[in-house]
Chains A and B, each alone.
Chain A
């Protein structure tokens, strides 16, 4: 029977497979009345991990019961029940020293980069395709290609933002449709991109005195600048990567910080750095696209718009949807108003209305209008984000599942 007993011992481990047990734990229930001078010590050695990490005596009691220790077993250790046995074990257990406590598990990296990285390239690719198609077509076909291309790009952007770091999946904001940007804010974002596409041309036309007819007719095409569109489409990839850097960095800081102040102090530089990286990326892409397309465009205006959109999106996915909506609306109205004022100034006796815009354009050129509007908006949002995204509660995890009774 000795051999059988040995086998039973070896199998004790396996029986406990349902619970986390350190490798090499001897069987749990003592085979008989413990013979040593300090039977509880032997039991503590067997359950060393449980004793070290227990936060109170009841946790040890729960763990012991899960390993098959009953009141009858506790009686062998001269205790009335498992609870008093657990209390002795808790009182005697050497707590793990503060220095030995690891700094917390590394923050979950989220889904593997490959998938959302590919999605992030989609808007850029669609933009490039659309621009190329526009170059090769003329007349009616060009209009069709343009409309289809814009729709495709919009779909691509939506796909790119639906998953990955620029989406709010796994965020604290509850509700089934939480990742959706409020519709108003999205419409204003598209309007800003639309202005980047043809606003400068319209403004120029208004200031120099044409056109007097709808475009597309005798007086030629829409005054479109494709560079900002292409640059912004391509910049989705750096935007997603920036957001990924931000999220990963925040996860690290959260796990490493001991206090909310400490976290806020480290989160702000992180945000500023991420926005700076994105600004540089959009500027570079914009300059490159301008060269490739042989167009005249100011990278600064595009970069300001890119930064504005990135910060707005970051705020939105962290649950702050109000401020981005307000700022995007304000910037949009500013741009619309500047174009409308210029055209209104051409009405007899209304020259004064166009005055401010004319002054700005005469000093810095047409690009100054979107640059100033988007830059100011981005600055306001950045200040807001520095306050809001430095709050730890903005990065709270989604609610955990309640523990099951089984």
Chain B
């Protein structure tokens, strides 16, 4: 099968997001042919180059999202009218109600249809005439935005839009719609792949939507984060009118991607809830957990968690009763402060306990936070500090598996978390975990660790004390955690799940071939009539 893998700011760029996952997927499914269609996010990303690509990647097309060339095409009167109509519809779709699912909160399916037809109308215009960048920056576009903002029934925030806000919205829309101007939708490109797989939602899925529109290529959308949610959090500083309109745009785009996709694969239940909220049909959502390499932690996982030291400690009073380990990127959202306070309470009940904070601070904010935490640790534990800060990622850093192996209990204290990587690694290492109830933690941990509310040092401390004082339970939980992780979170299960999904989608939606056979050379009876009958989806038409 030929898979068109669509990414935005990710694989194959060396500094892209989620590139590890894509790399494992492509390498794991060597029987398929992959064509990469990558949108780059900024100049630095393009400069940093690509990762090594395996042989099954037969073609790579890239396009920048951060810049666009005006191609010098100016529309004639008819094209201009067509553009004004579609863009006006698109803008009207943004002001027709709150973001989110069609049918919820006053956003009717008719409005969703209007947005959809406007989007594809613009795509067709861009494909036939070009010149979309200049048109999207034209005064007509701004005027269309102004008109819908002043129309009765527009949201309150949009009614107050100033001209700067309109310009900002227009510029953002122009940027978001740049994939419309790409030449990826021809035969031989996305037009002749068997399946489009968008490695993220949002703008990465847009080329897939267009390929589906033009050629009927089925689309699979994988989301490990929610682009709409990221947009809400990332645009907090923008004026209300800009936030309202852009949130509506991204909400509508997400809804359209969820509607059009043959299969949606959220990375966890948290993402799945957002997808369903934005109109995804439950019947085509399959949660596929991200896969992680378990081999590194095999050594630690085979040894029961800190037990040898534990038994010796039980024999001689005052020996080391166990170490709490925290691993991750150091940043304020990890809430190490709560962890330190909780550990202070643990020390009161278990005097010999130690805490190891292993991580790196990649940005200045994280570095400042690390400094703050070290000061706090110095204040809380004067004298011989039981808290050790281990720098990870440096040349002299210990192996990740060794760090996990040192811990009796692995702790996660975040207030915000997507998919908790450190918890999964701890589970691979066969360690019991104490985590805060954020993001996908509960579904990852299952019953194999303790979960406490975030920002609650007392609850965190009590859970840690309970586990430190009960090695039997710790072992039991650790073993269960490792078994669960090996079942759910390995690379193999991830790749196998996508393999099944590819086959399922290819079996269900081979519709593209019909169009292609019709268009290329009209041969009589080239397409059996059964193909047009419901239920005959598995018939494969050869070219």
Contact = CB atoms under 8 A, between A and B. Distances in A.
Interface of A: 1, 4-5, 7-8, 11-12, 14-20, 27-29, 31, 53, 55-59, 62-63, 65-68, 70-73, 81, 83, 87, 95, 98, 101, 103-105, 107, 172-176, 251, 253-260, 262-263, 391-393, 395-406
A403 B167 contact: no
A401 B66 contact: yes
Given A16-B415, A68-B416, A405-B230, A399 B175 contact: yes
B160 A260 contact: no
A173 B171 CA distance: 11
Contacts of B240: 53, 55, 101
Contacts of A175: 67-70
Contacts of A83: 273, 277
A404 B230 contact: yes
Contacts of A67: 415-416
Nearest to A403: B234
Contacts of A87: 105
B415 A397 contact: no
A63 B232 contact: yes
Contacts of B290: none
5 contacts: A58-B100, A393-B167, A402-B8, A402-B65, A402-B203
Interface stretch (B25-33, B133-141, B258-266): B133-141
B415 A15 contact: yes
A20 B236 contact: yes
Given A62-B232, A396-B167, A396-B170, A56 B338 contact: no
A8 B229 CA distance: 28
B392 interface: no
Interface string B155-194: 1110011111111101110111000000000000000000
A405 B68 CA distance: 22
B412 interface: no
Contacts of A98: 160
A404 B232 contact: no
B331 interface: yes
B162 A254 contact: yes
Contact of A397 (B9, B105, B167, B437): B167
Contacts of B251: 58
Can you list the 9 inter-chain pairs with the closest CB atoms, starting with the nearest?
A403-B234, A62-B232, A55-B244, A399-B175, A56-B98, A68-B415, A68-B454, A17-B332, A15-B335
Instruction: Please classify the interface of chain B as helix (H, G, I), strand (E, B), loop, or mixed, using the class held by over half of its residues.
Output: helix
Interface string B207-241: 00000000000000000110111111111110110
Contact of A14 (B161, B200, B337): B337
Interface in B117-143: 133, 137-139, 141-143
A58 B277 contact: yes
Nearest to A15: B335
B540 interface: no
Nearest to A72: B437
Contact of A395 (B42, B167, B341, B458): B167
A105 B164 CA distance: 10
Contacts of B167: 254, 392-393, 395-397
Interface residues of B, number: 90
Q: Which of B341, B438, B455 has the most CB of A within 10 A?
A: B455
Given A173-B70, A175-B69, A399-B171, A4 B139 contact: no
B345 A403 contact: no
B163 A254 contact: yes
Given A255-B162, A398-B171, A402-B65, 17 more contacts: A16-B415, A17-B332, A29-B453, A55-B157, A55-B240, A57-B98, A67-B416, A68-B436, A68-B455, A83-B277, A107-B164, A255-B164, A391-B139, A392-B166, A396-B171, A399-B66, A400-B168
A399 B178 CA distance: 11
Contacts of B17: 404-406
Given A260-B142, A392-B167, A8 B415 contact: no
A58 B228 contact: yes
A1 B457 CA distance: 10
Q: Which of A12, A55, A401 has the most CB of B within 10 A?
A: A55
A396 B66 CA distance: 16
B157 A81 contact: no
A64 to B, nearest CB: 11
B146 interface: yes
A8 B455 contact: yes
Contact of B341 (A11, A57, A256, A262): A11
B228 A392 contact: no
Contacts of B99: 56, 58
Contacts of B455: 8, 11-12, 15, 27-29, 68
B42 A55 contact: no
A176 B41 CA distance: 16
B172 A400 contact: yes
Q: Which of A257, A391, A400 has the most CB of B within 10 A?
A: A400
B110 to A, nearest CB: 19
B243 interface: yes
Contact of B244 (A56, A57, A107, A251): A56
Contacts of A396: 137, 142, 167, 170-171
Contacts of A395: 167
B302 interface: no
A110 to B, nearest CB: 15
A258 B162 contact: yes
B456 A172 contact: no
B105 A57 contact: yes
B333 interface: yes
A251 B273 CA distance: 42
A252 B476 CA distance: 67
Contacts of B224: 405
B108 to A, nearest CB: 16
Contacts of B65: 402
B225 A18 contact: no
A18 B333 contact: yes
Given A56-B247, A58-B251, A397-B171, A403 B231 contact: yes
A18 B143 CA distance: 37
B234 A1 contact: no
Nearest to B453: A29
A399 B98 contact: no
Q: Which of A172, A396, A402, A404 has the most CB of B within 10 A?
A: A402
B232 A58 contact: yes
Nearest to B457: A8
A14 B335 CA distance: 8
A55 B160 contact: no
B91 to A, nearest CB: 14
Contact of A402 (B165, B175, B369): B175
Contact of B162 (A20, A27, A103): A103
Q: Which of A8, A56, A87, A257 has the most CB of B within 10 A?
A: A56
